[in-house]
């Protein structure tokens, strides 16, 4: 230790006295030697004083970042320390040395390069992830402003996304600065970059969701977003509006939306002006009044979505005169989409509240209203100028003309002349509420009620329905589901690996070939790694590009192609399935998940769902091993992941989550996430696109935060109240909660839990390598085929016999010898069996030891091959459909062989040397044979065969 400390001190001295070239070199060496090290490893390397070096690098960075010379190296070196900070020590020291401030300054410094800014953001992310106090520190340092400004000015997609994710992380568990963050995000909406607008609204939804109220300043910029010519921006705005209807800003928001259906005079005039100039290029029109109509169309669309979602909102919209405004929008003669969207929204109201139909008919006239009721979305093609004008200027007021609006809340007045009509409407509203608009209802109810509900109330609700899983393990909020899909798919679109089957699933237009191609990939990927499958898959598809080609192949060819992929029955089932498709289904692959499941051998629930969603676009989730892990972590499901309640819960979860527009991509994205980010060991939570939805992640961080509160005495002297860690309210009786206690060391890896693994079955198999000399003098091996069912079905192997404990090895040898005698048609004796050695081969559930013997036949006068036996040369054997165990046996024989040859050579050399020395030795053939027999366990096959031949001479 003393020695190490001495080395470290001289290292630090060299640093202190070195110029920037020396320091640059030292940083390079540090990075090479220490990347990926843990806190303890770094401490060991630096004799417990690693932070002395961190302080030096941080200070150097603070002094020189504006010149940018070694900024990249400095950031990377600091990254090593911060990532190793499972302990808070480095983080605290970094903070105290002003590291966070420097990182924020780097973001706005004009000389910093894009990758340096990206690295600074990543480091800030690490700091923020360390807990609430660190988040507060970043916010106190004006971090939100710096990050928001960076987001507004950055042009790189990836860095923008990192900045957005950082803002989102800062909003988690940071109540003190939540409002500041929220307002900064609202301000950012006015930024001109559509990408930033989209990112900001997406983050705003997450932040808003955690707040009790919404700020009125959000309304104007949000409604302005509906003018965007970018569909993604419009969609995000619509989603945010949907969420905001659960908050106190709802009345202002709805009335704002309705007024967008009727642009102001000035705006319309501006439009007239633009369209009167026929030569005006389209682009100028776009910057002129087009956005007004785009906004009008988006408002109509949003109104429809809101009304479909909630009868309450629907009624409020009616009382705001939405029908009159929609009719006005229908009169728009310039923008088709505005007319279509208004038609569709109007259709919704008319169908839900038939009382409106009569009024609409009056404004439209008979012919137009017939066309409207027949196909609302094509109405714009049917109207003439006069009809358009009357729609535009309609002054429909759905009231009795005495100031009583049909849809206002005046129905309590028993003398009201509209009471009858109102009752019809209200009945309709009630039935709509019961009919299945539950999603919308839940959303509205949840927004208002959830926030008020006391913990006990939640408990009561959760325990009322024992059979349904607690909401802690589900996604009860549709808005959350929408958000998760979008986070996951955005990530997948950017990060997915290009794999041959993915390419085929997208580029292959023939449905039959596409389904076949995905089927092959799914079967190959069962229990085999992607990297191994790629080569096999390419070769397979080249050789059998269609299901018909595969059906025409022999099982032998299929097994040969499959050799090395393991679990041979999979290849066999693919082959059987292809023959079934050709002979029983007229060559047509099944086209639904159900028929895939029923009609294809080897296709289970997961495989059918995967093929159905990826190749056929069927809306179904798919649960494989990766998805089990991701879902169990996302919803903190810790009971045995193979138990029936967990299995069912996972299927129901994924079926709820799957994106109806992109089911195949969604399923692949979940699997990709499990394979690359949410891995079994060392999950990369800081890079996870669905981190904000992850219960295990929040659980770990809430625990860490509690701990760091104690450790951070230096930064926070005031006691702060941390929210309790959210838990399942039914945990004691819950079939999805872990039965074992939480293990701090495991973190998110507490989920999922697997049942204790059964030890593999131990088996010993007696096997005999039977050789003869072939026609051209080359050795040939006798192989027999395994049964068509069970382990290694249909593969070729050396004659073998499973040893059972009850009979002796001699008895087994006798039985195997008798079997080989029948196979080759020669009466053999077991004394001809020579022991070669043992080979161990481990299957997933069997620990197999082959006890290898060999036997050489004197001539070729053996029985001709039958259907289940064949003689193969060594090279043919290597190509044949044999298992890895057989190849290992051949290898053993070869090594024994070369060992023997070496021994013989050595003996020869010795003999020559002895002769030189005049010592002549008389060695008899018998003696040689004796020696050979003595060492029979090490004999090479060829010398052994030679010996047996000599013996019989």
Sign of torsion, CA 866 867 873 877? negative
Taking CB under 6 A as the binding criterion, the range among 102-110, 251-259, 628-636, 787-795 that sits at the site for ligand SF4 is 628-636
The entry of ligand SF4, Zn ion, none near residue 630 (CB within 5 to 8 angstroms by kind) is ligand SF4
* Of the candidate residues 697, 850, 944, 945, the single one contacting ligand SF4 (CB under 6 A): 697
> Could you tell which of Zn ion, ligand SF4, none binds residue 658, using a CB distance below 5 to 8 A set by kind?
none
By a kind-dependent CB cut-off of 5 to 8 A, residue 694 interacts, out of ligand SF4, Zn ion, none, with ligand SF4
Residue from 100, 678, 734, 768 in contact with Zn ion (CB under 5 A): 734
Which CB, 81 or 697, lies closer to ligand SF4? 697
Tell whether residue 630 is a contact of ligand SF4 (CB under 6 A). yes
Of 123, 690, 824, 896, which one interacts with ligand SF4 (CB under 6 A)? Answer: 690
Judged by CB under 5 A, the residue of 736, 782, 816, 932 near Zn ion is: 736
Select the binding partner of residue 244 from Zn ion, ligand SF4, none (C-beta < 5 to 8 A, by kind).
none
Show Cβ contacts of residue 745 under 8 Å, excluding neighbours closer than 6 positions: none
- Given Zn ion, ligand SF4, none, residue 737, with its beta carbon under 5 to 8 Å by kind, binds Zn ion
Partner that binds at residue 189, options Zn ion, ligand SF4, none, CB closer than 5 to 8 Å by kind: none
Nearest residue to 64 via CA among 32, 96, 100, 112: 112
Q: Which is closer to Zn ion, CB of 50 or CB of 737?
A: 737
Helices (H) and strands (E) in the chain, counts: 47, 7
> Which one of Zn ion, ligand SF4, none is in contact with 728 (Cβ closer than 5 to 8 A by kind)?
Zn ion
Give the per-residue contact string, 634-653, with ligand SF4 (x = CB under 6 A; - = no).
x-------------------
Q: Closest distance between ligand SF4 and the C-beta of residue 628, in Å?
A: 12
How buried is residue 940: exposed, middle or buried, by Cβ count under 10 Å (0-12/13-18/19+)?
Answer: buried
Site string for ligand SF4, 578-617 (x = CB under 6 A): ----------------------------------------
Q: How far apart are CA 787 and CA 572, in angstroms?
A: 12
Q: Which is nearer to ligand SF4, 673 or 855 (CB)?
A: 673
Q: Could you give the angle at which helices 644-657 and 663-676 cross, rounded to 10 degrees?
A: 120
Rounded Cα gap, residues 102 and 105, in angstroms: 5
Q: How far is the CB of 883 from Zn ion (least distance, A)?
A: 44
Q: Is the dihedral angle over the CA atoms 23, 26, 32, 34 positive or is it negative?
A: negative
Residue 685 CB, nearest distance to ligand SF4 (Å)? Answer: 3
Shorter beta-carbon distance to ligand SF4: residue 295 or 691? 691
Interaction of residue 900 with ligand SF4, rule CB under 6 A: no
Question: Minimum Å distance from CB 696 to ligand SF4?
Answer: 5
**What is residue 189's three-state secondary structure?**
coil
Number of residues that bind ligand SF4 (CB under 6 A): 14
The one catalytic residue among 347, 522, 672, 830 = 522
The tokens for 150 are: 């960076």
What's the Cα-to-Cα distance from 462 to each of 414, 730, 911, rounded to whole Å? 41, 7, 89
Residue 654 binds ligand SF4, judged by CB under 6 A: no
Q: Is 763 a catalytic residue?
A: no
Binding of residue 696 to ligand SF4 (CB under 6 A): yes
736 interface partner picked from ligand SF4, Zn ion, none, CB below 5 to 8 A per type: Zn ion
| Residue 441 CA: distances (Å) to CA of 203, 309, 312, 436 | 24, 7, 8, 9
Among 226, 581, 712, 728, interactor with Zn ion by CB under 5 A: 728
Separation CA 850–CA 870 (nearest Å): 21
Residue 713: CB minimum distance to ligand SF4, A: 29
| Residue 601 CB contacts under 8 Å (≥ 6 apart), including other chains | 573, 576, 577, 580
Of residues 574, 623, 568, 615, the one with CA closest to residue 593: 615
Q: CB within 8 A of 210, min separation 6: which ones?
A: 171, 178
Counting contacts by CB under 5 A, is residue 737 touching Zn ion? yes
Query: Residue 678, interface with ligand SF4 (CB under 6 A)?
Result: yes
Distance CA 240, CA 222 (A): 8
Q: Does 828 bind ligand SF4 (CB under 6 A)?
A: no
Structure tokens that stand for 711 in this block: 């450790």
CB 657, min distance to Zn ion, A: 18
Residues 654/476, Cβ–Cβ less than 8 Å: no
Binding track, positions 748-767, relative to ligand SF4; x by CB under 6 A? x-------------------
Contact between 258 and 325 under an 8 Å Cβ cutoff? The reply is yes
327 exposed, middle or buried (CB, 10 Å; 0-12, 13-18, 19+)? Answer: buried
Per-position x/- string for 452-491, each x denoting binding to Zn ion as judged by CB under 5 A, each - no binding: ------------------x---------------------
Contacts 24+ apart (CB under 8 A), 913-920: none
DSSP state of 685: G
Say which entry of Zn ion, ligand SF4, none residue 748 contacts (CB below 5 to 8 A, set by partner kind). Answer: ligand SF4
Cα 852 to Cα 837: distance, rounded to the nearest angstrom: 5
Q: Would you tell me which residues interact with Zn ion (CB under 5 A)?
A: 470, 728, 734, 736-737
Q: Would you tell me which residues interact with ligand SF4 (CB under 6 A)?
A: 630, 633-634, 677-678, 683, 685, 688, 690-691, 694, 696-697, 748
Q: Which residues are catalytic?
A: 522
């Amino acid at each position: 230790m003393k020695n190490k400390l001495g080395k470290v001190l001289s290292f630090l001295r060299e640093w202190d006295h070195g110029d920037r070239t020396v320091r640059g070199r030292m940083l390079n060496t540090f990075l090479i030697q220490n990347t990926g090290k843990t806190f303890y490893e770094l401490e060991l390397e630096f004799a417990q004083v690693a932070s002395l070096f961190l302080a030096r690098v941080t200070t150097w960075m603070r002094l020189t970042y504006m010149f940018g010379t070694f900024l990249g190296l400095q950031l990377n070196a600091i990254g090593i320390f911060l990532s190793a900070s499972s302990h808070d020590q480095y983080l605290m020291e970094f903070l105290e040395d002003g590291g966070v401030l420097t990182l924020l300054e780097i973001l706005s410094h004009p000389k910093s390069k894009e990758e340096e800014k990206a690295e600074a953001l990543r480091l800030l992310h690490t700091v923020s992830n360390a807990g609430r106090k660190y988040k507060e520190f970043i916010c106190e340092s004006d971090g939100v402003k710096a990050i928001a400004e960076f987001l507004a000015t950055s042009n790189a997609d990836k860095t923008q996304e990192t900045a957005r994710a950082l803002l989102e992380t800062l909003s988690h568990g940071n109540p003190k600065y939540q409002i500041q963050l929220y307002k900064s995000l609202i301000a950012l909406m006015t930024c001109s970059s559509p990408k930033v607008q989209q990112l900001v609204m997406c983050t705003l939804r997450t932040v808003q969701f955690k707040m009790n109220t919404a700020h009125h300043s959000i309304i104007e910029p949000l409604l302005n977003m509906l003018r965007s010519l970018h569909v993604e921006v419009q969609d995000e705005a619509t989603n945010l509006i949907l969420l905001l209807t659960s908050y106190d800003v709802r009345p202002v928001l709805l009335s704002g939306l309705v007024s967008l259906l009727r642009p102001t005079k000035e705006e319309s005039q501006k439009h007239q002006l633009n369209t009167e100039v026929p030569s005006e290029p389209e682009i100028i029109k776009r910057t002129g009044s087009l956005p007004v109509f785009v906004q009008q169309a988006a408002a109509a669309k949003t109104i429809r979505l809101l009304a479909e979602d909630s009868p309450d909102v629907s009624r409020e919209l009616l009382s705001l005169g939405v029908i009159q405004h929609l009719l006005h929008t229908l009169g728009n003669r310039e923008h088709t989409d505005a007319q279509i969207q208004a038609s569709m929204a109007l259709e919704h109201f008319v169908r839900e509240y038939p009382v409106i139909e009569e009024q609409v008919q009056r404004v439209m006239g008979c012919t137009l209203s017939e066309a409207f009721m027949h196909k609302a979305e094509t109405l714009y093609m049917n109207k003439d100028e006069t009809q358009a004008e009357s729609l535009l200027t309609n002054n429909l007021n759905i009231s009795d003309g005495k100031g009583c609006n049909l849809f206002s809340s005046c129905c309590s007045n028993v003398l009201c002349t509209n009471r009858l009509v109102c009752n019809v409407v209200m009945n309709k509203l009630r039935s709509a509420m019961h009919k299945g608009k539950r999603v919308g209802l839940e959303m509205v109810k949840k927004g208002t009620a959830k926030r008020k509900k006391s913990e006990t109330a939640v408990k009561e609700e959760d325990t009322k329905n024992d059979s349904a899983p607690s909401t802690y393990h589900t996604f009860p909020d549709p808005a959350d589901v929408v958000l998760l899909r979008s986070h996951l798919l955005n990530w997948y679109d950017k990060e997915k690996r290009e794999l041959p089957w993915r390419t085929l699933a997208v580029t292959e237009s023939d449905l039959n070939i596409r389904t076949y191609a995905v089927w092959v990939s799914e079967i190959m990927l069962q229990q085999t790694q992607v990297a191994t499958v790629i080569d096999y898959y390419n070769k397979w598809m080249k050789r059998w590009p269609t299901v018909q080609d595969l059906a025409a192949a022999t099982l032998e060819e299929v097994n040969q192609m499959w050799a090395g992929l393991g679990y041979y029955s999979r290849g066999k089932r693919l082959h059987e399935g292809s023959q079934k498709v050709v002979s029983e289904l007229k060559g047509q692959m099944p086209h639904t998940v159900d028929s895939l499941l029923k009609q294809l051998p080897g296709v289970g629930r997961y495989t059918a769902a995967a093929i159905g969603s990826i190749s056929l676009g069927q809306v179904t989730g798919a649960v494989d091993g990766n998805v089990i892990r991701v879902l169990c972590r996302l919803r903190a499901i810790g009971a045995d992941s193979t138990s029936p309640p967990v299995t069912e819960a996972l299927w129901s979860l994924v079926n709820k989550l799957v994106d109806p527009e992109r089911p195949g991509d969604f399923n692949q994205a979940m699997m990709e996430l499990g394979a690359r980010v949410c891995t079994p060991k060392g999950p990369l939570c800081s890079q996870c696109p669905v981190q904000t939805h992850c219960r295990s992640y929040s659980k770990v961080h809430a625990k860490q935060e509690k701990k760091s509160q104690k450790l951070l005495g230096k930064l926070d002297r005031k006691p702060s109240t941390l929210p309790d860690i959210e838990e399942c309210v039914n945990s004691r009786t819950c079939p999805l909660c872990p039965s074992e206690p939480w293990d701090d060391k495991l973190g998110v890896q507490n989920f999922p839990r697997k049942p204790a693994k059964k030890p593999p079955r131990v088996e010993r198999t007696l096997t005999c390598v039977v050789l003869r000399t072939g026609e051209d003098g080359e050795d040939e091996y006798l192989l027999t085929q395994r049964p068509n069912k069970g382990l290694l079905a249909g593969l070729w192997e050396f004659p073998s016999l499973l040893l059972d404990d009850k009979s002796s090895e001699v008895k087994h040898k006798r039985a195997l010898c008798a079997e080989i005698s029948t196979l080759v048609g020669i009466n053999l004796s077991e004394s001809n069996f020579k022991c070669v050695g043992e080979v161990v081969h481990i299957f997933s559930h069997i620990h197999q030891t082959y006890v290898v013997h060999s036997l050489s036949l004197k001539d070729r006068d053996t029985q001709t091959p039958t259907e289940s036996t064949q003689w193969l040369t060594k090279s043919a054997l290597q190509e044949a459909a044999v298992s890895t165990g057989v190849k290992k046996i051949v290898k053993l024989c070869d090594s024994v062989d070369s060992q023997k040859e070496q021994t013989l050579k050595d003996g020869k050399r010795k003999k020559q040397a002895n002769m030189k020395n005049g010592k002549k030795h008389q060695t008899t053939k018998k003696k040689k044979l004796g020696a050979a027999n003595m060492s029979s366990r090490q004999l090479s096959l060829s010398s052994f065969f030679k010996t047996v031949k000599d013996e019989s001479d």
